Structure 1
């Protein structure tokens, strides 16, 4: 699960890292060697010997490398006293793996109420969990200061984000050579992350959220009502930093779409029929990988205002180099129904636009008419 859910957001060619190279790798950051920060809220203690941190995973995966570690700073504190050591380590290394993000860990000095919720105001190293809300989605504590110091070293930086919520990271995304988002990867997340960095595992996750550029841009979500433009500012781009459904690979794919008859009747939908969009997916790269074919709709006519985009079907397929597979994405009654003005969930006469994307990149669009 941890391998499959890691999302590669940026890669200028630094990844995958070659395991045979004798690199000096600096592993830096509050989520580099913190097992419980890889887990979600309400997590019980783990048995001794269970779990692998990012630091341990990298040491296990890159046995020819000289791997060294510096904390730099904690998740939430503003203490910057450890940043100088981290910057020095970065300068002495060939590559930096910068492990930042958030935490729902209950094992770092937090106090809890009788119902189990964290008591805000105590010394929390949590920025996510029940009762742990935040007014700012930038990285907490001194993490941005740590990142800036590491970037000053001039060395290639691979940023790994482990967190329970999306963070606004525009400067980090711009200055990093690669960005991998792992959310909470679980106790074996360190192994999975290291394998993705080496190419032993294919980066194939797709974002389940939209990543904002700033806190002030919120709300940011892909399926806003068509009548309400949620992201329109005079001083900010009208897009998220990374959109819902986005995710890069180490290989390339070509998707060819063969759509069926461009209309379907309500009667056919009620009788169990579906509109099928057939996609042929080919791995055109040199390494094996997963393609995630996504089918979205946008209702452009009907009795209610629809969403600008609605994900209705997707399929993830594994392909060897040069291999092709056929994927069928179906729009059945439930996929094409709406809550109408009578509060009935049913299809109605209307027109919908269809969009096929592969891991967040648009490859085709068409239209479907729903008739009586």
Structure 2
């Protein structure tokens, strides 16, 4: 299905074509660029300082304007006051420009609306740990409602990059190393956000996370089969099933061709194969980077022409290439104006969908703006609780009442430790140190002091996140020695471009805890006091030594504004942990890149002396109760073009209620190309009280079994398929084999990608 075949309200195409026919070249170009009002020192995007184009908003919008960039998210502003400004500006566009078209307002919304005083939810890696698409949908709904209230039309989220190397700084923005988990949760977010009338934007199409050595912007050397079978499925799911309205092109090059200049990806695949009919926006400055970084364009005008020809409709965040340089190239005859017309048509269609072509802004802007309501915080709390992963526990957790608890570590009493790099707190506020956080963020020390009534809580910092100062070790050792148990809170500080230990442009060449944190942990362990290690991070670290030596280890991927109380609830036992690892816990940086989706020769064996086995596998996570899985049932044969219907019995065999994540894995025993030794085919979060049993039915469509064959087609082949359910990808607690019969099935859109689930 092409972009011209989609069903639209009667008259939209005619109206868009009428507007296009009346536009001057300057008016056309104005509709396919953004404007970003920013000041010196507000560098919140890569290489922002390379662009010195001086222009006021009034000058930039005299012919109209396509996008307003980050109206609320560039600096701390009062939301109601900024809304008044925005409504006034939009009225001016409607009343004083020749065509009267308002601007489309976009904002970052990866962990909530990235604005001062707005609710900040767990980072996407925590979504992955929750295995809870319904809750992610609810989160998307409340985020979208906040954005819509403020006159925001498009959100630059979710990130659907499949994690390929934990050394990459942007891991904290990603959901998982598994494409199916990424796709289901990402599509859930899209559905939630778009249900409120705000367009979601898929990032980053495609290949960004497969960069060389886990380095930001690094070249991508992935083969076509890895791209098709691992990196693309989440995007296809969100396009076909989520009906997403916007896609962002990736910065990277694949096999020497920058994505932003590749029509085989942005047009043939995205629009032709997937049927996407929305707008493609450039990642910030990505068009100019074709000239400045990729060296495939001699100047900005040529870069603009290449990007337009490839299928990039909108240049963000500003018009560095799509304004004067593109106009000059068109007048010189080196770029066809028809490419501009195509992009403008798509931009105007999007504005029509959003109601902007009829908007007058004669209504009053909101005056009572609540961006961090009780509902926001309830969803944030539940998602934080569900995402905490208990990695190991010798019985020290939950903590007994009446203990003397030492809370130690650089992240024990730091609100910023709860948030990822695209949170407003860590993305923008570092440029405004005089401004407060704007939302209530209990630290883990504060939350534990409130949670552990009847216990004594003492604290010591020990060290910073990322320096070599050990002067605080002695105090940490002292309070640990005097305590019954030490809760040691370590991890990351999220930032951008070298200003953090994780985040965009904060890549690593090792996977040790940053700074001297490992030395702090070892010093506290030497006291003999039981140590509960709590990791607040944006990536998994190589902490096998800690898993072996600590009484308990808790992993929390930046859990958001309610992360402190959520973690305190886990440690006290008020909350039963139920998170599962969305990414393997690595053995070492030298064993990377690693994914559980590896073929036989990607794992351990006699052909090498080096082990690739992770410290803990994908899907691992402990509970304060126990679950058993039994009676995996599937028909012994099925056709290659039909779904598999699988049932499994799950029982809570422990002493308290809790949530289990039922995980169904499969392996193609013999195929025409090498296949992973395990692949997630379905999952379901189930709550069971003590002694309760449920039967979970998982429906696996043919597309979940498909892979790219030697000819480049996605197929399901006949043959044997092993299925199993267990507490992780590595353990077959109950299993069965099914034989697929019939001809080789070539997968079509009708095969679907979602797993249907029934719990009874």
Q: TM-score, normalised by structure 2?
A: 0.45
Larger Rg: 2
Aligned equivalent of 1:362: 732
**Are 1:16 and 2:385 an aligned pair?**
no
- Report deviation, 1:247: 0.5
Aligned equivalent of 1:56: 446
Instruction: String of CA shifts for 1:136-164, please: whole Å, max 9, x gaps.
Output: 10101010110111011111110000101
In 1: Cα distance, 2:715 partner to 2:398 partner: 48
**Cα distance change, pair 229–324 in 1 and its aligned pair in 2 (3 A):** closer
Tell me the SS of whatever aligns to 1:196.
helix
Count matched residues: 349
**Cα distance change, pair 63–233 in 1 and its aligned pair in 2 (3 A):** farther
8 Å CA contact 1:219, 1:230 repeated in 2: no
Aligned equivalent of 1:3: 385
**Are 1:206 and 2:613 an aligned pair?**
no
**Are 1:93 and 2:483 an aligned pair?**
yes
**Are 1:42 and 2:422 an aligned pair?**
yes
Instruction: String of CA shifts for 1:173-216, please: whole Å, max 9, x gaps.
Output: 11110001001111110100000111111110010111112222
2:621 to 236, 247, 251: 247
After TM superposition, the structure 1 stretch with the greater mean CA deviation from structure 2, 146-155 or 48-57, is 48-57
After TM superposition, the structure 1 stretch with the greater mean CA deviation from structure 2, 338-347 or 215-224, is 338-347
1:32 to 408, 412, 426: 412
In 1: Cα distance, 2:591 partner to 2:734 partner: 29
8 Å CA contact 1:53, 1:187 repeated in 2: no
Aligned equivalent of 2:637: 263
Tell me the SS of whatever aligns to 2:558.
coil
8 Å CA contact 1:224, 1:230 repeated in 2: no
In 1: Cα distance, 2:606 partner to 2:421 partner: 34
Q: Which has the higher contact order (CA 8 A, sep 6+)?
A: 1
In 1: Cα distance, 2:732 partner to 2:493 partner: 33
**Are 1:335 and 2:704 an aligned pair?**
yes
- Report deviation, 1:342: 3.0
8 Å CA contact 2:587, 2:612 repeated in 1: no
Tell me the SS of whatever aligns to 1:182.
strand
After TM superposition, the structure 1 stretch with the greater mean CA deviation from structure 2, 70-79 or 170-179, is 170-179
**Are 1:221 and 2:595 an aligned pair?**
yes
In 1: Cα distance, 2:610 partner to 2:659 partner: 33
Aligned equivalent of 1:103: 493
Instruction: String of CA shifts for 1:294-329, please: whole Å, max 9, x gaps.
Output: 111111222221111111101110110011111012
**Cα distance change, pair 69–236 in 1 and its aligned pair in 2 (3 A):** farther
Aligned equivalent of 1:109: none
Aligned equivalent of 1:168: 542
Instruction: String of CA shifts for 1:107-136, please: whole Å, max 9, x gaps.
Output: xxxxxxxxxx42x3xxx4x21011111101
- Report deviation, 1:230: 7.0
In 2: Cα distance, 1:231 partner to 1:96 partner: 39
Tell me the SS of whatever aligns to 2:396.
coil
**Cα distance change, pair 183–260 in 1 and its aligned pair in 2 (3 A):** same
8 Å CA contact 1:16, 1:198 repeated in 2: yes
In 1: Cα distance, 2:561 partner to 2:699 partner: 36
In 2: Cα distance, 1:310 partner to 1:240 partner: 16
- Report deviation, 1:218: 1.7
In 1: Cα distance, 2:732 partner to 2:721 partner: 17
**Are 1:315 and 2:695 an aligned pair?**
no
In 1: Cα distance, 2:715 partner to 2:447 partner: 50
Tell me the SS of whatever aligns to 2:564.
helix
Instruction: String of CA shifts for 1:74-118, please: whole Å, max 9, x gaps.
Output: 1110110111110011011111000011120x4xxxxxxxxxx42
In 2: Cα distance, 1:195 partner to 1:233 partner: 46
Aligned equivalent of 1:110: none
- Report deviation, 1:47: 4.2
1:301 to 670, 678, 691: 670
In 1: Cα distance, 2:694 partner to 2:503 partner: 41
Instruction: String of CA shifts for 1:229-283, please: whole Å, max 9, x gaps.
Output: 378896665521111100011111121124121111134x1xxxx2122111111
In 2: Cα distance, 1:42 partner to 1:227 partner: 37
Instruction: String of CA shifts for 1:33-81, please: whole Å, max 9, x gaps.
Output: 1111210012213744511111111011002111111110011101101
Aligned equivalent of 2:457: 67
1:371 to 722, 741, 747: 741
Q: How big is the alpha-carbon RMSD for the aligned residues of Structure 1 and Structure 2?
A: 1.8
Tell me the SS of whatever aligns to 1:97.
strand
- Report deviation, 1:341: 2.6
8 Å CA contact 1:160, 1:179 repeated in 2: yes
Tell me the SS of whatever aligns to 2:711.
coil
Aligned equivalent of 1:193: 567
Q: Whose helix proportion is higher, 1 or 2?
A: 2
In 2: Cα distance, 1:275 partner to 1:144 partner: 47
**Are 1:128 and 2:491 an aligned pair?**
no
In 2: Cα distance, 1:237 partner to 1:139 partner: 21
In 2: Cα distance, 1:342 partner to 1:214 partner: 36
Structure 1 unaligned residues grouped into runs of 5+: 107-116
After TM superposition, the structure 1 stretch with the greater mean CA deviation from structure 2, 93-102 or 302-311, is 302-311
In 1: Cα distance, 2:503 partner to 2:556 partner: 17
